[in-house]
Structure 1
Amino acid sequence: MKKINDIFIGQHFCLPNNFLTSNYDTFLFFDFGLGMEPEFLEYFSDLLDLGGFNKQVNVFDYDFNIIVDNWILKHDDLLKYIKRIIGYVDINDDNGIIMADTDLNWVAVQDIPINWGVFAFQSSKKESIRLFHMMNRDWFVDIERFKSMEKVLIREVGEEFINILLSNYGNIRSKQA
């Protein structure tokens, strides 16, 4: 079984740069605190139930220290774990968060809670890509929406951010072929 740190190219996890190994080639971008948003975690838990996906996740900091080990996402314990994650982030100067299912079908990364983050999937794994297609686009922006919203987003996040993001994530699959 792969270790979580084996799926990263390096330890500079900062959007808009791509920092994941090439088998993670399908992405959704988000702008909420990873592991800290109860409404999203409830939605995500329900989605995992609906699709019959693995609900067991691990939450790490950027040094791959475990924050929450083998958390089975369910409504009745969300607040307990959210408090643990928020407390850890506060104590560790807004350290980034990595969240992944225990099968490593997907990984979500956010360098600090106020920055954009990325959910990454493996298009070669049916389970992974099926989850990608089921996820609610209201919570996320995929690379195609970034391209179509480029002018609006330039005002929000800056032209340099958009250009680097598109060059790093816009044609990842074609680079591998």
Structure 2
Amino acid sequence: MTAQTSIQGQVIPKFGEQKKAFSIDELKRLINAAKNMRDLNQAKVFYTQSEQGPSQKVEFNINKWFMIEYSTVCVATCDPQKSRIFKLGGQLYLNIFPGFLHILRPISTFESTTHLAVKFIFSHIQDIWCSGDWNLTEYIIKWLAGVAAGRKMYSILYLKSGQGWGKSIITDFIQRSVLGTQLVYKTSDP
């Protein structure tokens, strides 16, 4: 086995490894470990289609692309209040928030059937979840409104009762129709 084959065996397969998150520092280390550009041959050639004539072979300089042309590093975050890419304290962030299933709008703009459905949900919360206690019902409705508006909540709702009492009907509705399954974590394990 030659030195070139040995380096390719160590460097190239790690570009597609899925066992850990992408790290620009690890990429720089792998590129710097290559002794010459031949060590990166598998990742540096592609073809472009020109408007006139056949496609052209283009040499791709991976070191130049990652280290000079596109060296910006974003930190992934999930924040419904921020744009897709934003800067905070000099750090660039990539917002991976997928978006809500609904568009925030005043309740007066909804149809009467929606108002009846909301009234049914609020009645269920008051009668089943809160045993008729209006203060507790108001707290839960405001808490759910904060979640639906994308505010960070500093508390959780913990529902405890026997099976079949109607705890999950509201949480299932919120998961499926308000927030989406990608934003909701629901468990029966306290």
Pick the TM interval, shorter chain. Answer: under 0.3
Looking at both structures, which has the greater relative contact order when contacts are Cα pairs under 8 Å and sequence separation is at least 6? Answer: 1
Give the TM-score taking structure 2 as reference length: 0.20
Q: Identify, as 1 or 2, the structure richer in helix.
A: 2
More strand by share: 1
TM-score, normalised via structure 1 length? 0.21
